[in-house]
Structure 1
């Protein structure tokens, strides 16, 4: 049976609060994207390449666990059911085809156990796909795009742990070298050709998501310039023929607050990097108020049909004005990150939102080790005790969730 969709997911503002923050932020504000096929990945930020220094395992600033049969799989205390909050994290996976399936399985178990230890009930697997320049009409799998079969195995392990699973392809930005080279600014020379190529790419991943009973497939993320295009109708219709779960779209925070996000999907997520003008010692209430001023530009009151698909901030001084800044390495201050996480969780609960996914954990990392702050992104949260304490407090709160939702 065809599920009801939300043709216009973002409601018009009920109350608009004038709130202008004259602060810098990362355009598009997806906090990181690394290029494929290099042992020392390159970062593209505002059209400029940056190099991510190689860590002990070749580029992630952490020590990855050695391949093994892996730990015994833990199990969530309470599996997610419809209407409950989604408490989770984004796992970002740039696959290395030289890694054995045993290594992939071991890493999946490692992350599942870590998430269960945080009392998460959900996980989203983000992975890269590739294009040419901003006008390209061709979508491809790169060397570091997981194959559908390997993705299916990872989903299977997460499912065995009792975690709700989301599949989330994410356009890599390395080739978008022009000014404002961000996935949200692409302008394909032929849109029909672009959408045909994109649908061909996502089809086997939709099948993998269906085979492993994923709950959500995110059909697009932060594609501002393509939102509202009529070609999405065909892509989503065909996706719903292959995948019986929820077909979603994740909007970037700037477009979300700017106006209606018109996408023919069942659910809307927001990659939420709202800048807040506040000092390092700001309270949870101050930060939560800053978030609410941004959200109120869309609508006041509960937002039960919205999921915070990404939230995160650097564990460093001066981070509140640009929470998506992943490249700057100011003095480490774990309290800044932990307080932000607590404030976000407070907003999610008070606004009756569907849940939150923290950005992010690299698939090849060992999340049980502290990040090497000489090379790692300040946004890394795994291995930071204060932030992990804040996450556990959030995920074990008495928030029952938004309740079952109907679409119209």
Structure 2
């Protein structure tokens, strides 16, 4: 059975400097088990049968799960988003993470999995999906980036993207630097220091080209050119890389910043859209009302800018369904006692913040591609971040995704 312990850090919250310092050391992204505006040239300144790989059991979803009572029939014609995304509407989505299995799955399996996830997401009321996949580096100072055995091929990604596109979803393709080779020195993708940055960017450009072509072939809406690469933000190498990407891919080229740099740093990237991977710690008890969580999020966001944030997308967020998670939502190592209400209330709060501040939407972390979202998680082995099969969390997501929020009306690309 595959281990799914995400490579993320425990974020202390007692002292602000420690809260902000931890991500620079260990990061906050679960890849293996894991102001206010972003205009062209973004400069944000100042102010987851028998047990499945994730440990889920082959049980029916709860009666109030969106995958059972509210999703459409399994016929191809019924696989359609109720209200397809259009420019200006909120992006209500999920990060679907895909690692190829050691024993490569058949194309038929891949097709069926994509349809299974599409059906589940339609039941949640989602209109968007971001397909995340890993690429690899030799070490913290390496100049070479590569696809690995766990990296899906561009052709396989096209197959999955097409299923979602045909179903009416807004689609994003999102390569993420895997941290497996960084563990020995407690590294994370945000503090890599290539010996030669020019060689690193040349290698990255070569790596991305076939994936950009796959995105173009499937009319994918967005290609995320980089995710949580704090140490490389602002490097002149991005100008050439993005210009090259735009020659191949006519859609939206974006960058997803880590939350720490977003609130304290200057995100200087030559892209036409900015997302934030948001794991803001809020020091409140598990019994705290949703309003306290909302206040906590707003306190963090206000460090950047007060008021509406119509050009900002919550490109990734989540939290464990366990006690104490509010203090460190980016702590993906912990496996404390279950508390599903903690997760559900967090989802409610984030949704409220996104709507109140007129943000572009939310992508929840995450669904694992080889998992069956229609099963209950086996909590002895499953990630605490799993929300599929947790009725309270599914209800909160669906309530958010089917709300009356019309969106910021200022999306920069279709």
- TM category (shorter chain) comes to 0.7 to 0.9
TM-score (norm 2): 0.85
Deviations 1:247-273 (A, max 9, x none): 000000001011220000010000000
- The correspondence for 2:284, drawn from 275, 278, 286, is 278
- The correspondence for 1:99, drawn from 73, 97, 105, is 105
Deviations 1:377-399 (A, max 9, x none): 10111110000000011011111
- The correspondence for 1:56, drawn from 51, 68, 73, is 51
The unaligned stretches of length 5 or more in structure 2 are 1-14, 35-49, 60-72
Equivalent residue number for residue 75 of structure 1: 80
Q: For 1:29 and 1:287, how far apart are their aligned partners in 2?
A: 22
Q: For 1:299 and 1:194, how far apart are their aligned partners in 2?
A: 33
Deviations 1:64-116 (A, max 9, x none): 89xxxx94342111100000000000000001252000000000000000000
Equivalent residue number for residue 199 of structure 2: 193
Q: Secondary structure at the match of 2:269?
A: coil
Q: For 1:332 and 1:263, how far apart are their aligned partners in 2?
A: 39
Q: Secondary structure at the match of 1:249?
A: strand
The structure-2 alpha-carbon separation of the partners of 1:185 and 1:145, relative to structure 1 and needing over 3 Å to count, comes to same
The structure-2 alpha-carbon separation of the partners of 1:311 and 1:190, relative to structure 1 and needing over 3 Å to count, comes to same
- The correspondence for 2:28, drawn from 6, 14, 30, is 30
Deviations 1:353-399 (A, max 9, x none): 00000000000000011111100110111110000000011011111
Deviations 1:147-186 (A, max 9, x none): 0000001000001111100000000000013433100000
- The correspondence for 1:84, drawn from 70, 81, 89, is 89
Kept in 2, the 8 Å contact 1:28–1:222? The answer is no
Kept in 2, the 8 Å contact 1:30–1:324? The answer is yes
State the shift of 1:56 in Å: 2.7
Q: For 2:142 and 2:287, how far apart are their aligned partners in 1?
A: 45
Q: For 2:374 and 2:316, how far apart are their aligned partners in 1?
A: 21
Q: For 1:21 and 1:348, how far apart are their aligned partners in 2?
A: 26
Q: For 2:358 and 2:210, how far apart are their aligned partners in 1?
A: 34
Equivalent residue number for residue 363 of structure 1: 369
Q: For 1:22 and 1:142, how far apart are their aligned partners in 2?
A: 34
Q: For 1:211 and 1:290, how far apart are their aligned partners in 2?
A: 42
Q: For 1:84 and 1:114, how far apart are their aligned partners in 2?
A: 21
1:220 correspondence with 2:222 = no
Matches within 5 A, 1:120-139: 120-139=126-145
- The correspondence for 1:391, drawn from 382, 397, 401, is 397
Q: For 2:386 and 2:412, how far apart are their aligned partners in 1?
A: 35
1:299 correspondence with 2:285 = no
Q: For 1:285 and 1:354, how far apart are their aligned partners in 2?
A: 21
Kept in 1, the 8 Å contact 2:272–2:412? The answer is no
Kept in 2, the 8 Å contact 1:28–1:252? The answer is no
Q: CA RMSD in A?
A: 1.9
Q: For 1:109 and 1:123, how far apart are their aligned partners in 2?
A: 13
More helix by share: 2
State the shift of 1:311 in Å: 0.9
Q: Secondary structure at the match of 2:89?
A: coil
TM-score (norm 1): 0.86
Kept in 1, the 8 Å contact 2:360–2:411? The answer is no
Give structure 1 regions of 4+ aligned residues with deviation exceeding 6 angstroms.
none
Q: For 1:225 and 1:265, how far apart are their aligned partners in 2?
A: 17
Q: Secondary structure at the match of 1:402?
A: coil
Kept in 2, the 8 Å contact 1:273–1:311? The answer is yes
The structure-2 alpha-carbon separation of the partners of 1:144 and 1:83, relative to structure 1 and needing over 3 Å to count, comes to same
Equivalent residue number for residue 62 of structure 2: none
Equivalent residues, number: 366
Kept in 2, the 8 Å contact 1:21–1:275? The answer is no
State the shift of 1:63 in Å: 4.5
